Amino acid sequence: MEQQRQWRRLDGTRIKISIEDEIRRVIVREKEAGHQLKVCIGTDSQVKGKETEFATVIVFIRKGKGGFMYIYNEITKQKMSIKQGMLTEVARSIEVAYALCNLFTLYGVDMEVHADINTNPNFKSNDALKEAMGYIMGMGFAFRAKPYAFASSSCANKVVQ
C-alpha cells in the first residue's frame, strides 16, 4: 500500500523505505529507549480552487516526553461536498491505520484515529459525525473527534499547504 506514497518527517526528510518498515524501526528504537508510546492518525484537507489537498499524519506521542510525526500529502481534482470531504479524510486515515495496526498490536502501542469533525451540530462538518464514528469504530479503532482530534485538526491542519 505505502510503497508508492512519499512519506516525510516534519523537517522535510523523505522516508526512503516503506512506511511499515519505518514505523517498525521507530517503535523498536523508542521502546528500547524506554518510551511509552501512543499513536494518533488523522487527515485534514484544504480546498484551493479546483484542487483539494489532503495531509495524513501519523503522530507518535512519547508519554511525558514530547512526540514526532510522519506526513503524507496528496492533491486531487475531484470535487466534493463538505460531508464527502470529511468522509474521504476519515477513509484516508483508516487506510493508514489498517495498514499499520498489526505492528501497533504486536508492540503494544495504543492507537487512535482522529477525525476533523465537529461534535457541535451547529457546524457543517457535524453532518458526517455519525458515519465517521461508525466507520472508525466498526474497523475496531479508537475514535476521537473535535476538540480531542488534535492529529487531524492541529497536526495535519498545519501541514496541509
| Domain assignment present for 3 | no
Let me know if residue 1 belongs to a domain.
Answer: no
Count of the separate structural domains present in the chain: 1
Instruction: Look up residue 18 and give its DSSP letter.
Output: -
Residue 2 is assigned to a structural domain of this protein: no
Domain assignment present for 18: yes
pLDDT in tens, 108-148: 999 999 999 888 888 877 888 989 999 999 999 999 999 99
Give, for 98, the enclosing helix (H) or strand (E): helix 82-106
Task: Give the angle 60-156-26 at the CA atoms, nearest 5°.
Answer: 25
For the domain that residue 141 is a member of, what is the CATH number?
3.30.420
- Does residue 29 belong to any structural domain of this protein? yes
Q: Is residue 145 part of a domain?
A: yes
Q: Is residue 28 part of a domain?
A: yes
The residue range of the domain holding 56 is 8-159
Q: What is the mean pLDDT of the chain?
A: 92
- Mean pLDDT for 52-63 is 96
Q: Is residue 94 part of a domain?
A: yes
- Residue identified by cell 516526553 is 65
Label the pairing between strands 110-118 and 142-146: parallel
Inter-residue contact 132 to 86 (CB < 8 Å): yes
Residue 3 has pLDDT above 50, yes or no: no
- Over 90: is that where the pLDDT of 46 sits? yes
